[in-house]
Amino acid sequence: MKIAYLVNQYPKVSHSFIRREITGIEACGIQVARFSIRSCESELVDEADKLELEKTRFVLGVGIVGLLLSSIRVFLTRPIRFLNSLWLTFNIGLCSERGILNHLAYLAEACVLLGWCSDLEITQVHAHFGTNSTTVAMLCHALDGPPYSFTVHGPEEFDKVQLIALEEKIKRASAIIAISSFTKSQLYRWCEHQHWSKIHVIHCGVDKNFLQHPHTPVPE
């Protein structure tokens, strides 16, 4: 089994909990590929994040030509899937805060992701945050990519449920992770009862290194 993690920006200073999550999964003997939409290399200071940077592939790193070539390749090899995904892109893009053009870019990113998943034999994509990274994962799945799951943190997702097509993402996902019982209750509000069994609570935690780290006095 080999899974992929997809995040809008990874590694990132504020996303150390995702790094710990990936490390924990790998400790169970599961291979994890790191995919990020874009890089924030310039802000990294933690050595652990810098090591993660070397393991991460960046979707936008392929450039405009790479995005176009990936889209053409998918259209030629999976025309029906591509057209269905294009229809889905327009449906969710029309009512979104980002608009159609941004969602067409997400579709191109999904084509890149599809190629990577195929090359690496990825069996599951997991996205963090229910915003654009999950949009890309959902479109990749619609293009004939692996099933996807995603973690919802809130409150951003709950402030714009319809604008980010959260209900559609829940419906198509194989599993949805809520970081708290409150998050789970909010997700229940925005999906049909038949999808409730897919929603699970997994808390974001800290590791032993954090708990055992010596106390550093706050400078006056």
Residue 220: inside a domain: no
- CA nearest neighbour of 158 among 129, 134, 137, 136: 129
The boundaries of the domain holding residue 109 are 2-211
**Does the residue 218 lie in any domain?**
no
Least confident of 27-41, 43-57, 119-133: 43-57
In the chain, the DSSP E strands lie at 2-9, 31-38, 56-58, 124-128, 148-152, 175-178, 199-201
Tokens 């550093």 correspond to 216
Q: Model pTM?
A: 0.91
CATH code where residue 203 lies: 3.40.50.2000
Domain count, the chain: 1
Domain contains 219: no
CA atoms of 211 and 208, how far apart (whole Å): 5
pLDDT digits (tens, 9 = 90+) for 134-187: 999 999 999 999 999 999 998 888 888 999 999 999 999 999 999 999 999 999
Q: How far is CA 196 from the centre of its chain?
A: 20
